[in-house]
Amino acid sequence: MLEIRNLKVAYKRDGKRYLILRGVDLSVGENETVGILGESGCGKSTLALSILRLLKRNVEFVSGSILYKGEDILRLSEEELRKIRGGEIGIIFQHPFSSLNPCMKIGKQIEEVVRLHSSVYTVSELLKTVGLKDVEKIKNSYPHELSGGMIQRCMLAIALAGDPEILIADEPTTALDKMLEKEIIDLLKELVMKKNLSLIFISHNLGLIKYLTKKVYVMYAGVVVEEGKTDEVLSSPLHPYTEVLIESYPKKGRIKYFEGDVVDIENLPGGCKFHPRCPYVFEDCKWKEPKLFLKNNRFVRCLRQEK
């Protein structure tokens, strides 16, 4: 359904151009649940926003294509794009409060989306679908009058208003406590199944990726370093970065901290971009950048695995 090919995206600063995505390939099939895993700054949100061409002004497409049902989103007119946004592909943004208008009641904001997509649903139906009870009161509330969990449910209602086929959820629960997180994730899982949606779920939380997705892309410094079935990748990682991510995931309340500095995309190292932090680094890694290749039913980008 969705196929991203060799996508390169950059931002401009002081007349210079820095690549955020350095050639990403990703595909999402019908009813497929796909996870994107990686630490802060690896380009997850940029990838999500690229799919709907919602990039900030100083960020631009450099090359590649994003095919939705065979048509390149990057070549669509604004009008064609409007139909895809929300109507075919819905998105829940990473920062829900900044995507709502603080001066407009929730009901009115959802109403606008419903009208835009000539939605088959009413605002009340959408709010009930996402598990909200006192619907009339919520419709008449301003965003600041609602709790974080309620806001996230409203964001989900907005994303579903156009009856999309693909739902992109970018770290939908980072601002919530553990109890609310579980509620929202269960709701997301239930709705994806009920509505036969394809899901792109973005997170740095391994547990959530495992719970919600069948396929996973592990990203590092603007590229995919490992891709495969979620349970296989997370139980027997091939890439050292995936391995370290799994080891640093909190177990029994103990966190093993992940060593090394996070990537600075304005000063990327030569060779494999992970080499300054890699426990298996060897001489070639410092000058040769590995390519993604197929191994054991998995794609991996590592010279050690090529040997």
The site for ligand ATP (CB under 6 A) is made up of 11, 20, 38, 40-46, 56, 58-59, 94, 204, 265
Footprint of Mg ion on 39-58 (CB under 5 A): 44-45
Q: How far apart are CA 223 and CA 42, in angstroms?
A: 8
**In whole angstroms, how large is the CA radius of gyration of the chain?**
20
- CA–chain centroid gap for 273, Å, is 21
Q: How far apart are CA 87 and CA 75, in angstroms?
A: 18
Q: Which does 281 bind (CB under 5 to 8 A by kind): ligand ATP, Mg ion, ligand SF4, none?
A: ligand SF4
Residue 290 found at the interface with ligand SF4 (CB under 6 A): yes
Footprint of Mg ion on 64-103 (CB under 5 A): 94
Torsion angle defined by CA atoms of residues 18, 20, 25 and 27, in that order, rounded to the nearest 10 degrees: -150
Q: CB of residue 295 vs ligand SF4: minimum separation in angstroms?
A: 12
Q: What CA–CA distances, in Å, run from 11 to 49, 56, 61, 208, 261? A: 13, 9, 9, 30, 21
Residue 203 found at the interface with Mg ion (CB under 5 A): no
Q: CB of residue 59 vs Mg ion: minimum separation in angstroms?
A: 13
Query: Closest CB to Mg ion among 44 and 153?
Result: 44
39: tokens are 């630490």
Stretch that binds ligand SF4, among 18-26, 70-78, 247-255, 296-304 (CB under 6 A): 296-304
73: which DSSP letter?
A: G
Q: How far apart are CA 303 and CA 288, in angstroms?
A: 8
Stretch that binds ligand SF4, among 8-16, 93-101, 179-187, 270-278 (CB under 6 A): 270-278
- Residue 66, classed as helix, strand or coil, is strand
Q: Which does 280 bind (CB under 5 to 8 A by kind): Mg ion, ligand SF4, ligand ATP, none?
A: ligand SF4
Query: Closest CB to ligand SF4 among 120 and 262?
Result: 262
Residue 90 found at the interface with ligand SF4 (CB under 6 A): no
Residue 293 found at the interface with ligand SF4 (CB under 6 A): no
Residue 280 found at the interface with ligand SF4 (CB under 6 A): yes
Q: Report yes or no: 167 and 194 within 8 Å, Cβ to Cβ.
A: no
170: tokens are 């970018």
| The binder of ligand SF4 chosen from 182, 195, 210, 304 (CB under 6 A) | 304
Residue 285 found at the interface with ligand SF4 (CB under 6 A): yes
Q: Report yes or no: 19 and 242 within 8 Å, Cβ to Cβ.
A: no
Footprint of ligand SF4 on 235-264 (CB under 6 A): 240
Q: How far apart are CA 172 and CA 155, in angstroms?
A: 9
Q: How far apart are CA 68 and CA 77, in angstroms?
A: 14
| The binder of ligand SF4 chosen from 59, 62, 67, 281 (CB under 6 A) | 281
Binding site for ligand SF4 (CB under 6 A): 240, 272, 274-275, 278, 280-281, 285, 290, 302-304
